Structure 1
Amino acid sequence: MIGRLQGTLVAKHAPELLIDVQGVGYEVQLPMTCFYELPEIGQQATLWVHFVVREDAQLLFGFNTLDERALFRLLIKAQGVGPKMALGIMSSMSAPQFIQSVRSGDLSTLVKIPGVGKKTAERLLVEMRDRLKDFRGAEMDTGLPGATPVVPTEYAEMPPSARDEALSALLALGYKENQAQPVLKRVFNEGMSSEELIRAALKAMM
């Protein structure tokens, strides 16, 4: 079982990164709320990891804190929630925001998350309420990392690399292209990086 990785960031392509640990490169998928906090390429990073073994793949999911990993592990125990959906949930809202949504029975917010239909959201509210009652991360700051306000601009002005990376990340998180494209167009502001664009798009879709 791989529980933690510490090494040098080699590449970042949201929601995935490549981290070099003593000459071995590990591909790790992160929720966007964790991805935003990563250092720059070439710098050292430490990730708490959940290792998933399937018949057709071995997957690593990374987190900046033990609380974030703990929430991910609780989510994938819920009926109908796999690692990809859990990644989408934790990309769409911070851990404290998800906890607050569950405690308040906020069904309307949960159904906006990609892949989470009404039935799945209802199950999450029922199953997660007791599991999160004593969750140690419940008193964390309830705000997402601050995003710079954006001004709508023509989509054609967006740098292709930022557009393509943002769209690719949203598709990987479970959004459909016909959902992602209009939102990316609406939230784009000239000079935004792909990470800023993804953050703004996720915020707009919630």
Structure 2
Amino acid sequence: MIGRLSGQLVAKQPPWIVIDVHGVGYELETSMNTLVALPAVNESVSLFTHLTIRDDAHLLYGFGREHERALFRALIKVNGVGPKLALAILSGMDEDAFMRCVRDDDSKALTTLPGVGKKTAERLIIEMRDRFPEWEDGSNALLPLESTNGRASARNNLADAEAALVSLGYKLTEASKMLADIDPDQSTEALIKAALTQRMGG
């Protein structure tokens, strides 16, 4: 099991990144909360990881916080929740916000996340309530990640942000609408974060 990777960030194409570790490029999929905290391309980075092995692929997921990885691992144990939906949940809200939803039986807030319907939200609340002890003792400290400095053109950033939102489960028209009122003169990661924050009403 690959539990952590430290190396040079060589590519960011939300939600995918590539980390070069001693000449080997590892492709990882990350939540948007982790992605917006990453440094610029060609800078050093260290992420907690989770490896999923399928018959047709070995998939690696990266997390900026050990607590986030622990919640991801708890989520994929829930019936009907796979890695893609777990990442969508972690992209839409952080661990503390998710915990509050479960403890307050707030299924309405969970249904604002892409791919989470009423039945799934209710199942998450029921099943995750008993699984909190598995991960709530984990460290929630952020790894020393620097803010990104490099920016592409506003048009490319918008296109990349739109593609990332679609990959999270939003429809193309919905993703475009989410980005319509946001200042386009920002990095791709900042645009994604702003769109998700606006969607959550925060």
How many angstroms apart in 1 are the aligned matches of 2:23 and 2:125? Answer: 43
Report the counterpart of residue 196 of structure 2 in structure 1: 202
Aligned Cα root-mean-square deviation (Å): 1.8
Among residues 168, 178, 181, which one is paired with 1:183 in the alignment?
A: 178
How many angstroms apart in 2 are the aligned matches of 1:180 and 1:57? Answer: 29
1:103–1:129: 8 Å Cα contact kept in structure 2? yes
Closer, same or farther in 2 for the Cα pair 1:7/1:175, shift >3 Å? same
Q: CA deviation at 1:178?
A: 2.2
2:66–2:140: 8 Å Cα contact kept in structure 1? no
Report the counterpart of residue 70 of structure 2 in structure 1: 70
Corresponding residue SS for 1:37: coil
Cα deviation code 1:40-60 (max 9, x no counterpart): 111111111100111222111
| Structure 1: tracts of 5 or more residues without a match | 142-157
Q: What TM-score comes out, normalization by structure 1 length?
A: 0.86
Corresponding residue SS for 2:123: helix
The correspondence of residues 1-206 of structure 1 with structure 2, limited to 5 A, is 1-133=1-133, 135-136=135-136, 159-186=154-181, 188-206=182-200
Report the counterpart of residue 151 of structure 1 in structure 2: none
Report the counterpart of residue 146 of structure 2 in structure 1: none
Q: What TM-score comes out, normalization by structure 2 length?
A: 0.88
* Aligned length, in residue pairs: 189
Corresponding residue SS for 1:10: strand
1:36–1:195: 8 Å Cα contact kept in structure 2? yes
| Structure 2: tracts of 5 or more residues without a match | 142-152
Q: CA deviation at 1:73?
A: 0.1
